[in-house]
Structure 1
Amino acid sequence: MFAVPHRHYRLSEAWKVAVMSMSPPAVAGLNLKKKVFSAGAWSIAGYFFNYAFRLGSNLLMTRLLLPEMFGIMAVAMVVITGLVLFSDVGLRPNVVRNERGDDRSFLNTAWVIQIVRGGILWLGALTIALIIAIANKVGLVPAGSVYADPVLPYVVCGLSLFPLIGGFESTKSLQAYRSLQLAKLTRLDIAAQVLSFLVTASWAITYPSIWALVAGTVAGVAVRAGLSHIWLPGHSNRLQWERSAFVEIIHFGKWIFLSTILFFVASNGDRLMLGAMIDPGSLGAYSIAFLIFTSVDQVLSKVIVDVSFPALSELIRESRSRFQKAYYRFHFAIASFSYFAAGSLLVSGSSIIAVLYDQRYQQAGWMLELLAIALMVQPYRLATQTFLALGLEKIYFYLHATRICVLFLALPIGFHVAGLEGAVCGVVLSYFASLPQIWKHARASDLLDLRKELLPLPAFLVGIGCGELFKLAVGALLAR
């Protein structure tokens, strides 16, 4: 009766000997691979859960609220998001890549910076709301545009609580990103999303107005900030100031600060400009198309920022050869999904809108099909994040500057030549503007292998085929 335990003992001892005989890099590689797969699984699962909630909420709201409300909310969120990005000093990438990323004094100093920043953003949002109201009153904004709506300044004031409350979020979330412990972060995001949905839906059902969207947004960030202190592992925060930590954060963050300003303008400049060119209803339809487009864009971005960036940062510190191999493993997976999504949405965008939304939103279909082309560029965001991990922050800045220049030229020219269709084509063109620079710097960093770049391309054709099948199925369904 002792035979089985004895055999188990011998196998356990053999396993210990095998592990101890492995070189440290090999053991570290196994641990990192396990963390990457676990973090990637949680990141993607959490994203799809949150997206399902977001889509469900959006579908419900489009039946309870008017398209004009989504246009107003889109511009107000752009204002708040712009303020947040305009003041970004790169706290997350700083903690992820810095050797002091787990140091209590360093984290407390980062928390103080975050709180002060939140207060400044709150005051900035109130100031912008006042400027919009005054400009509207004296007739400085185009009549009939989103900016002329008298509700917009009040919505901006309500959303100003977003950065103020978010500034108190614990730095435990930054530690979790650093160590690729995304399980609890994902659960935290889900809890915040569920409460946000419940607040929005309850408000919209009892009192249908744009304030349902505002209340849900603020409730979500409040829950996330509160749970970050009690739910996540790590150092508890207290008010502490260390000058050397502050200098280190600002030194790294100065290029991040400039880059995120440009990133905001590049990512949101389309809605800012279109808000002055088209009516709120058309902008609401564009916002719906952009929401579905960014649902794919964001899941890829989440994997790149939450998983690939921390993993590649760790490999850079340990082994450059392993880093280069890992880079193209990430690239193949991200590019395959991105190309497949681009192909499928390119031919089935109108069918998706026809199934999900009523007749008022159908023009979002052709917009989604055009925007889908821009997903072909998404895999190269991995390269830009890798430049950041390599300490090449200036490159990150110049890439966004190039995209902005093309956006602010191509969108108005496109609108002048071909109306709204031309404007959307200008938006898509801006995504491709920085590709030559990315290829140049990737080659200089030994990250450009043409054969490996081309390997995922067949996924685009597979996506087109699947999109056509979906389009036929929807056509047959609607024909009944």
Structure 2
Amino acid sequence: MSMAGRFAMLRGDGLGARVMRSSLLTVGGFGFSQVVRLASNLILTRLLFPEAFGLMSLVMVFLMALHQFSDVGAIPAILQSKRGDDRDFLDTAWTMQVLRGGGLWLVACALAWPMSRIYDAPELALMLPVAALTSVIDGFRPTAMVTANRHLMLGRVTLLDMFVQLSGVIAAVVLAWWWGSVWALVVSALVGSLVQVWLNTQFLPGPRNRFVWEEEARKELFSFGKWVLLATIAGFFYNQADKILMGKALPLDVFGVYNIGFFWASFPLMLGYMVTQKILIPIYRDTPPKESAENFARLRKMRVAVTALLLGCVGVFALGAVWLVQLLYDSRYEQAGAVAVVVACAQMPVLIVMTYDQAALAAGDSKRFFVLALSRAVLVWIGLLIGLEFAGLLGALIGQGLSYFAAYPVVVWLARRMGAWDGLHDLGFGLLALALASLALWVNWGAVSGLAG
């Protein structure tokens, strides 16, 4: 196809053109954010100490728990609902989010002192209530952000996200240089939230949200959201299990090193989550794979492209992580490269099946989505607990990887129900992932074996 033909495919209002534009914008925005994130990480590791990253990780785990333990699924509900463009429906969802944000802050204040005792970190008693103010601010995010996602019109949203990212990073670096304290990370998070709400309220099209409580909208949101709430709770224990268990079992400096390693290995995983969450629900909603062979074939092409991109990225990181960390960081973080290698290899099974997860939500079947999230959470906790008990940090990383693989039968069950499962895709990329992981571990074995000590 000529270059002119490729550009022509990006124009127009059809689903294909919107998917391509949205995918390119999502990947481009992600690339920009990771460059900024990397630059800030390199600067902050020189201005702050490893324990600061361990403390901030505990704060973020706690805030994530509050958010996910109260998530009624407003965003996926708007994305898939027939009333997703109705103003009263949107304003009711926004009102619920505002009330939820205030409630989360009160809970954070109540639990701050107990959390500081559990983790033997007195700083948490004050850090948690201040950091939890982000929940209050985030409750005022305009639903116009979700509306743009619903219609795969992400250009302006992506641009605004770039400004938000820059504002938070600049605040973190300036404050870290000034204070030399973990409080720089806390306050910069507040700055980022404030900038995000203000920018998106001012510059996204559509009427501003107002306080509305329509009973019909509330019933639909809660009916869909009750299983999403349970799924997000399970998702929290799945995604944050490593932070919860390692944060308790490992010294803060070792935990901080783990977080630097995870920072590197998480690039492809974050890209995958961003693409699937922003793009796949509208695609599955408009072209259900059960409906026709043509729809299934179209989804297969998309799935192959996404998986190839993600595996390629994680393979590069797995092969070069040790060298990269040695180049960019000082001796305090020397083990972070080995951590990144093992985490990257462990995440490969997740990346292969990532495009199946949103099929159930797009079909309005949040119950099956919950079953998958719960299964993954149980398995990852088992893997981490057994690994930590018998082999410390390295054992935990291995157990985590095996748990991802063990969840595959449940993924197949959900994907088959939605008519989305593609066994040929999974087999081909599974073999490729095995080869990449083996090569990465062989190349970096000297550093990886050092984690056992």
TM-score (norm 2): 0.90
- CA distance 1:461–1:355, shift in 2 (3 Å): farther
Whether 1:437 and 2:410 are equivalent positions in the alignment is yes
- CA distance 1:466–1:233, shift in 2 (3 Å): farther
Greater CA radius of gyration, 1 or 2?
A: 1
SS at match of 1:276: helix
Matching residue within 411, 420, 442 for 2:384 = 411
Give, as a single letter, the amino acid of the residue that structure 1 aligns with 2:365.
L
Matching residue within 447, 454, 463 for 2:420 = 447
Whether contact under 8 Å (1:86, 1:260) holds in the other structure is yes
Matching residue within 171, 177, 187 for 2:149 = 177
> What is the RMSD of the two structures over their aligned residues, measured on CA atoms?
2.4
Alignment of 1:237-386 (within 5 A): 237-316=209-288, 320-373=292-345, 374-386=347-359
Cα distance per residue 1:128-165 (max 9 Å; x no partner): 213224xx2xxxx4xxxxx2121122221221111110
Alpha-carbon distance, 1:391 to partner: 2.5
Whether contact under 8 Å (1:410, 1:426) holds in the other structure is yes
Alpha-carbon distance, 1:126 to partner: 1.1
Alpha-carbon distance, 1:215 to partner: 1.1
- Which structure 2 segments of 5+ residues have no match? 1-10, 445-453
How many correspondences in the alignment?
Answer: 433
Whether contact under 8 Å (1:336, 1:459) holds in the other structure is no
Whether 1:130 and 2:113 are equivalent positions in the alignment is yes
Give, as a single letter, the amino acid of the residue that structure 2 aligns with 1:56.
A
Q: 1:405, 1:449 → 2: CA distance?
A: 25
Q: 1:351, 1:120 → 2: CA distance?
A: 46
Alignment of 1:387-398 (within 5 A): 387-398=360-371
Matching residue within 14, 17, 21 for 1:34 = 17
Alpha-carbon distance, 1:412 to partner: 2.1
Give, as a single letter, the amino acid of the residue that structure 1 aligns with 2:352.
P
Whether 1:427 and 2:410 are equivalent positions in the alignment is no
Alignment of 1:86-165 (within 5 A): 86-133=69-116, 136=117, 141=118, 147-165=119-137
Farther-moved stretch of structure 1 (319-328 vs 193-202): 319-328
Whether contact under 8 Å (1:339, 1:457) holds in the other structure is no
Whether contact under 8 Å (1:94, 1:252) holds in the other structure is yes
Q: 1:249, 1:421 → 2: CA distance?
A: 42
Q: 1:172, 1:318 → 2: CA distance?
A: 31
Whether contact under 8 Å (1:68, 1:280) holds in the other structure is yes
Cα distance per residue 1:43-95 (max 9 Å; x no partner): 11111111111111111000000000000000110000111111111111111
Q: 1:462, 1:234 → 2: CA distance?
A: 49
Farther-moved stretch of structure 1 (171-180 vs 403-412): 403-412
Whether contact under 8 Å (1:404, 1:430) holds in the other structure is no
Alignment of 1:226-237 (within 5 A): 226-237=198-209
Whether 1:221 and 2:166 are equivalent positions in the alignment is no
In the alignment, what sits opposite 2:372?
Answer: 399
- CA distance 1:91–1:317, shift in 2 (3 Å): farther
Give, as a single letter, the amino acid of the residue that structure 1 aligns with 2:42.
L
Alpha-carbon distance, 1:169 to partner: 0.8
Q: 2:223, 2:111 → 1: CA distance?
A: 29
Percent of aligned pairs sharing the same letter: 32
- Which structure 1 segments of 5+ residues have no match? 1-27, 142-146, 472-480
Farther-moved stretch of structure 1 (450-459 vs 381-390): 450-459
Q: 2:243, 2:206 → 1: CA distance?
A: 39
TM-score (norm 1): 0.85
SS at match of 2:188: helix
Alpha-carbon distance, 1:444 to partner: 3.7
- CA distance 1:444–1:166, shift in 2 (3 Å): closer
Give, as a single letter, the amino acid of the residue that structure 2 aligns with 1:342.
V
Give, as a single letter, the amino acid of the residue that structure 2 aligns with 1:55.
L
Alpha-carbon distance, 1:309 to partner: 2.0
